[in-house]
Structure 1
């Protein structure tokens, strides 16, 4: 098969794969508390609660994801309440009982602006022993953006976050500039391969 056909076919396959990946829709992370999931962080026996101080809820948050263990039983009802130091509620939400153990997403009222220094309390309904995962006694919280989004829909947000970096003279044009630079590198490499094969 001619080298040109191989390169064209490979490039077309790459474009199709990229399009499929960018079009996939799923809940996307808005941030986390950076606590690794190394093991059991808290053991509860419902009904009970677990509160954690000094948390930050990122902007554009509509849910929280937890890793839970129930020793094989259906999960109890879960309620999450986020409060400022003065007691004012930032957001709250819940998940019904009956789900499996593992990763659980709890929808909460949307938080548009970042809320640092808040208290996050998880209220666990009746249902026996219950485990939360994290490290050093702190539970891992991963915050999710509202709904489901594709990577294509997130490109403006990603470009904006790139623009916030230090030593960035291009501002919001940084991500498109990097994409063009990568495309130019691929094109140059393809031309070089064709030139070498044609000798």
Structure 2
């Protein structure tokens, strides 16, 4: 009888532990992946004090309005320039092309960039960097703007999913050096999608 009682106690204890370990939050695969990355102390940009109680980032609710098909106009002859960052470091970037798309029947354009250092790495040779500003900055999203990762398409169009917009690492920790979003990439509308501003401890 004692053995059965001990077994019941053990099961109750394990169940309690399992309940204490909360699953990572997120409605979409992107949200779960970024939460998993930020929860991992070996990858996370979070400060130790913020990581301690981290359960997940805040996101705008997924909205298909902000998943748009964009036309890519390549600009093959652009030269690399020194994109300013939040530190004295500069990032060598060039305008790879101009993206044209519509949100709620209004046409917008954004420059998409290619980093000189990244394209030398095999896994990033087709990587494109899309930083942008919008009217949520400082009013729901990080004041310095957000980023989206893209890949070079085979043709002249690609999908921009603003629901995957994320904050620069320096939004969480000032030790990072983050590219400053060029003013040319300001969208005169609210992009209520992607990662929201982070509430630091």
TM-score bracket for this pair, using the shorter chain length: under 0.3
Which one has a larger percent helix, Structure 1 or Structure 2?
Answer: 1
Which one has a larger percent strand, Structure 1 or Structure 2?
Answer: 1
Normalised to the residue count of structure 2, the TM-score between the two structures is 0.25
Normalised to the residue count of structure 1, the TM-score between the two structures is 0.25
- Between structure 1 and structure 2, the one with the greater Rg is 1
